[in-house]
Amino acid sequence: MAFNSIDKVKDRYDVIVVGSGLGGLTCANRLATAGHTVLLLEHHTQLGGLATWFKRKGHIFDVSLHGFPHGMVKTCRKYWNRAIRDSIVQLKSIVFDNPQFSLTTTFSREDFTRILQEKFGIARSVVEDFFVTVGKMNFYDDQTMTTRELFDKFFPGRTDVHRLLMEPITYANGSTLDEPAITYGIVFSNFMNKGVFTFQGGTDRLIGMMADELEKNGVTICTRARVDRIVVENGKVRGVAVGDRVISAPSVVSNSGITNTVTNLAGREAFPVDFLGQFDRVKVNNSSCQVYFGVRPGESFRDVGDLLFTSTSKEFSSDEMLDMETKSRTFSVYYPRTRPDHPDYTVVASMNGNYDDWAGLGKEAYKKAKQAMIERCYVDLERYIPGIREKVDWVEAATPKTFNRYTLHTRGTSFGTKFEGLEISRSIFKAVPGLFHVGSVGIIMSGWLGAINYGVIVANDVDGFLRS
């Protein structure tokens, strides 16, 4: 994908979008179709934010394309185009394997209801009541009940059931049992509908199709264009500074992390004291580690499932999942059917991670820790794909430091902020007129579906502001 150079763009736009994650891309697209002139600036060489990919030795590795809810079908058709929607396909084999249970599911409400009755012995009435309860949860509900209390209410003492219901969501957004139940319920009920889906052709094809749509709708796109500062004068947004250039705009949408937006891009001096007091209570979510395995051309392996939630830990623990030597990881398995135009066998191992654990290591210790992580993933993967070591011709690891380097997210967070970040994100334009934020905040507005839908919400806010 070839885009504009920063020195070739105009001096003024209606809207400047800083960052090209799925929220930023969607926001830019909606504003362009509403008739506004839009400039999209991305510091990296390619678009997508965490919805990205990279190439090594003929392999294409997706960084975050591991599964999203059925809601993406409607969202992509309504806010992008039919071709993108039609490329969404179901992952039909989701595997759970741990000391408490082993099973394969389609991850649909119907199949989970059957499994909870037949394998875990839970009465159907209890299961249905649970699904109805979480299905009704929304942002305005009581936030005092924790997910742990929710589980104890319906499945007291059943740590195996808690694990089944919670482990995939923790992998997906870093949430814990002690956070507000609504942050679990809203995300879980989105997934627990018709199963888990992915994008056929991979992230590279999706982002390419989105870029084509953006350019068709008149969005000016620049990569290698790192915004140094969001310009705020007399309490209002005036544009952005990129190197030696200041590009003017009455509105700026930051698709950088909310903490990065306030602290580094706009600067704390741009905000009222009461806003900063609320902002200082925002906690950044954890990050991730990944190990990428590419299989030598001509080699293959049998179908072992699409997503494998694996652990040798006795019980579920969000703290254990964050440990550098965690025994819990997800394997996302890619078969030739994933990218029909580029058939290949690859596996991505994903683990939750703490930035400080890795950032504090010296150069040699960091290198050894990455190699040890790769070895642990090999050992686990051998249980499902025997002989995988001999078939792999490329292996590479990413840590929270890697995520920080490529996304610029505070502490390398791959899940944005905890719940309190959502209110800051939603109210930032009230503190500084013309400044808006879109991105992963509050767990609810995270993941592919949350990011795209949030892009639509913020685009409506910006449109209203510009027309006023």
User: For residue range 334-364, what is the model confidence (pLDDT) as tens digits?
Assistant: 999 999 999 999 999 999 999 999 999 999 9
Q: Which domain, by its residues, includes 33? A: 6-53+202-283+416-467
In this structure, the answer to whether residues 118 and 183 fall within a common structural domain is yes
pLDDT of res. 162: 96
404 in any annotated domain: no
CATH number for the domain that contains residue 218: 3.50.50.60
323 in any annotated domain: no
CATH number for the domain that contains residue 187: 1.10.405
pLDDT of res. 102: 97
In this structure, the answer to whether residues 10 and 44 fall within a common structural domain is yes
In this structure, the answer to whether residues 279 and 424 fall within a common structural domain is yes
In this structure, the answer to whether residues 213 and 172 fall within a common structural domain is no
In this structure, the answer to whether residues 206 and 180 fall within a common structural domain is no
- Domain C-terminal end among 192, 211, 243: 192
State the total domains in the chain: 2
pLDDT of res. 141: 65
40 in any annotated domain: yes
User: For residue range 428-439, what is the model confidence (pLDDT) as tens digits?
Assistant: 999 999 999 999
In this structure, the answer to whether residues 234 and 167 fall within a common structural domain is no
In this structure, the answer to whether residues 119 and 177 fall within a common structural domain is yes
126 in any annotated domain: yes
In this structure, the answer to whether residues 157 and 214 fall within a common structural domain is no
In this structure, the answer to whether residues 234 and 187 fall within a common structural domain is no
In this structure, the answer to whether residues 456 and 422 fall within a common structural domain is yes
355 in any annotated domain: no
Q: Which stretches of the chain drop beneath a pLDDT of 50?
A: none
376 in any annotated domain: no
The whole model's pTM is what? 0.93
pLDDT of res. 282: 95
410 in any annotated domain: no
pLDDT of res. 375: 98
Three state DSSP letters for the chain: CCCECHHHCCCECCEEEECCEHHHHHHHHHHHHCCCCEEEECCCCCCECCCCEEEECCEEEECCCCCECCHHHHHHHHHCCHHHHHCEEEECCEEEEECCEEEEECCEHHHHHHHHHHCCCCCHHHHHHHHHHHHCCCCCCCCCCEHHHHHHHHCCCCHHHHHHHHHHHHHHHCCCCCCEHHHHHHHHHHHCCECEEEECCHHHHHHHHHHHHHHHCCCEEECCCCCCEEEEECCEEEEEEECCEEEECCEEEECCCHHHHHHHHHHHHHCCHHHHHHHCCCCECCEEEEEEEEECCCCCCCCCCCEEEEECCCCCCHHHHHCCCCCEEEEEEECCCCCCCCCCCEEEEEEEECHHHHHCCCHHHHHHHHHHHHHHHHHHHHCCCCCHHHHEEEEEEECHHHHHHHHCCHHHCCCCECCCHHHHHHHHHHHCCCEEECCCECCCECHHHHHHHHHHHHHHHHHHHHHC
- Domain C-terminal end among 137, 159, 192: 192
- Domain C-terminal end among 164, 192, 220: 192
299 in any annotated domain: no
In this structure, the answer to whether residues 160 and 225 fall within a common structural domain is no
